[in-house]
């Protein structure tokens, strides 16, 4: 099955518990449709780049899954119908990521690259 990454933004006036309940509901949809959730991250309340529905902030959540296309279609349908979700985006991945996402502090450390490039220039 293909791998997908879905990020959604929930309204800022929701509590962390409500956002976790929403996330659990979306995970259940994927599982019911034959998919498997491999990673879920709550990125917390973050400032938006621009106002969406008069809001300046939103709760960001990432869900990585190994699911058939029909499961993603059903997930996106539910995201679209839910009044608490302001925006969402799903992308298809070539492979699942290892460890936490870049937003959570994972990924490559750029300080090492800067040090190495300075040594090479000298």
- Angle at CA of residue 40, ends 34 and 44, nearest 5°: 145
pLDDT of residue 53: 87
**Over 80: is that where the pLDDT of 113 sits?**
no
HSE-up of residue 23 (Cα within 13 Å, Cβ side): 26
Task: Provide the Cα torsion 62, 5, 8, 33; round to 10°.
Answer: -100
pLDDT of residue 1: 76
| Residue range 38-83, pLDDT digits in tens | 999 999 899 999 998 899 999 999 999 999 999 999 999 999 999 9
3-121 architecture in CATH?
A: 2-Layer Sandwich (3.30)
**Over 90: is that where the pLDDT of 121 sits?**
no
* Residue 88, beta-bridge partner list: 8
Provide Rg for the chain, Cα atoms: 17
Q: Give the predicted TM-score (pTM) of the model.
A: 0.80
């Amino acid at each position: 099955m293909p791998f997908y990454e879905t990020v959604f933004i929930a309204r800022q006036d929701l509590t962390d518990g409500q956002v976790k309940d929403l996330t659990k509901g979306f995970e259940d949809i994927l599982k019911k449709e034959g998919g498997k959730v491999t990673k879920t991250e709550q990125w917390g309340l973050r400032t938006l780049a621009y106002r969406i529905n008069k809001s300046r902030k939103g709760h960001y959540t990432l869900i990585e899954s190994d699911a058939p296309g029909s499961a993603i279609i059903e997930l996106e349908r539910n995201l679209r119908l839910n009044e608490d979700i302001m925006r969402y985006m799903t992308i298809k991945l070539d492979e699942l990521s290892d460890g936490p996402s870049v937003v959570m502090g994972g990924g490559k450390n750029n300080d090492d690259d800067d040090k190495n490039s300075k040594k090479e220039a000298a």
